[in-house]
Amino acid sequence: VIPGRDLAPETRPGHRRQPFNNGWLWRDKILMGDLAVIVGEQGAGKTRLLTDWMARVTTGRAFPGSADPSHALPPSDVLVFNCADGFQQEVLDQVAQQGGDPERVLQVTTQLLHWGYSHSEFPDGPLPQPGEGVFEMPETRVRLHTQDILSKLWQFLVRRPSIRLVVIDQLKQHLRTDSDRVFEDLLLDLQVIARQTEVAFVLTQRPDAYRNGIGLKQYLKSSALQSKPRAIWQIGRAHV
Rounded to the nearest angstrom, the gap between the alpha carbon of residue 116 and the centroid of all alpha carbons in its chain is: 16
Give this prediction's pTM: 0.84
Helix (H) and strand (E) counts for the chain?
Answer: 7, 8
| Dihedral (CA of 159, 160, 164, 165) sign | negative
pLDDT of res. 5: 45
CA distance 154 to 175: 18
Q: Where are the beta strands (DSSP E) in the chain?
A: 24-26, 30-31, 35-40, 77-81, 105-107, 163-168, 200-205, 231-235
> Contact at 8 Å (CB) between 75 and 101?
yes
> Contact at 8 Å (CB) between 204 and 37?
yes
Three-state DSSP class for residue 35: strand
The string of DSSP letters for 20-67 reads: GGGGEEETTTEETT-EEEEEE-TTSSHHHHHHHHHHHHHHTPPPTT--
| Residue 61: CA count within 13 A, CB half-sphere | 14
Three-state DSSP class for residue 151: helix
The one-digit pLDDT tens for each residue of the chain (240 residues) are 444 444 554 555 445 555 677 788 988 889 899 998 888 777 778 888 999 999 999 999 999 887 777 788 889 999 999 988 789 999 999 999 999 999 999 999 999 999 888 888 887 777 665 555 455 688 899 988 899 999 999 999 988 888 999 999 988 888 877 777 888 888 889 999 999 999 999 998 876 644 555 555 555 555 656 666 667 767 766 544
State the amino acid at position 78 in one-letter form: V
Q: What are phi and psi of 104, to 5 degrees?
A: -100, 10
State the amino acid at position 159 in one-letter form: R
Those residues whose C-beta lies under 8 Å from the C-beta of residue 207, and which sit 6 or more positions away, are 39, 41, 213, 218, 219
Three-state DSSP class for residue 214: coil
DSSP class of 89: I
